[in-house]
Amino acid sequence: MEDPNRPVTGYPASAHNSYPNGYAIGANPPPSGTGYPYVAPPPTTGYYSYQNNPYNQQNYNQDPYSARRATCLRRIFAFVIGLVIILGTITFIVWLVLRPQLPEFRVDSFSVSNFTVGNNSLVSFTSEVQITARNPNKKMKLGYDHIMAKVFYKSESLADTSIPPFYQDTKNETSIMANFAAAGSYVDKRVVDGINWDRSKNGNVGFNLRMISRVKFEAKAWRTRRRFLKVFCGDLVVGITSNARSGMLTGGPKQCRAGI
């Protein structure tokens, strides 16, 4: 009978060196009293590793001058917005109190003298137009300057003139005179044909008057900036027959339209 303590021979050697309980070289055995293998703690994240991470790193070196400048710009912007709101509110309140209204105009008389229309498309005449300007405001005065006026036949300009500046108190009516003179003014042939047709048909020639002026509204210490006022007086019919060289406005005074 073979000795049971005799080592067994004839088997191939193991490919890996085996150690008790499966621990590799250099590994410490687990503490006594536990049935689980030793697990090393995860590596701790140090201060420098966090700071060197480009995704977690914050810019702690921001320029203080840039921050102060951004704050200053925000304050300036808020100040400007607030100032605009305040000025707009004040202007609206003043408008509610004063209720500014545009002036009113009418043509009282329109006379034409020495009216001639030549076959060479030259028109000559003199004209006087009396206009009444009315200030309907109860609390605001009006000042006019740089007043220009033109006489038209339909849309063709025949003559122009300037009117002296004037000033109007509240609820005031002012009569102004505009004198026109055309000495051989050249016009398109269709204008000549239209005037001759009107004169031969019923002896009435229709003119238009346009004015433009700078106007300023005033109420004690409150004043507006000067604005351009446009006035249009249309359908001013003057009776001038084919044999006559002068005529007057027919149909009575004509109201005009005014706008800014």
Write out pLDDT tens, residues 120-172. 899 999 999 999 999 999 989 999 999 999 999 999 999 999 999 999 999 99
More confident residue, 225 or 59: 225
pLDDT(210) > 60 = yes
Query: Of 100, 186, 193, 176, which Cα lies nearest the Cα of 132?
Result: 176
Mean pLDDT of the chain: 82
Q: Model confidence at 38, in pLDDT bands (50, 70, 90)?
A: low
pLDDT of residue 211: 98
Alpha-carbon dihedral of residues 172, 260, 101, 131, nearest 10 degrees? 20
Q: Which residue has the tokens 């027919």?
A: 250
Q: Model confidence at 186, in pLDDT bands (50, 70, 90)?
A: very high
pLDDT(76) > 70 = yes
What's the whole-number mean pLDDT along residues 48-64? 53
What's the whole-number mean pLDDT along residues 238-242? 93
pLDDT(15) > 70 = no
Query: Of 94, 233, 122, which Cα lies nearest the Cα of 185?
Result: 122
Q: Tell me the pTM.
A: 0.65
What's the whole-number mean pLDDT along residues 40-58? 52
pLDDT(41) > 90 = no
3-state secondary structure (DSSP) of residue 65? helix
pLDDT of residue 221: 72
What's the whole-number mean pLDDT along residues 199-214? 96
pLDDT of residue 26: 47
Domain ranges within the chain, ordered by starting residue: 48-98, 104-259
What's the whole-number mean pLDDT along residues 63-71? 78
Q: Any idea how long the chain is?
A: 260
pLDDT of residue 195: 95
pLDDT of residue 48: 47
The answer to which of 23-27, 83-87, 155-159, 214-218 has the lowest mean pLDDT is: 23-27
Is 15 exposed, middle or buried, given 0-12, 13-18 or 19+ CB atoms closer than 10 A? exposed
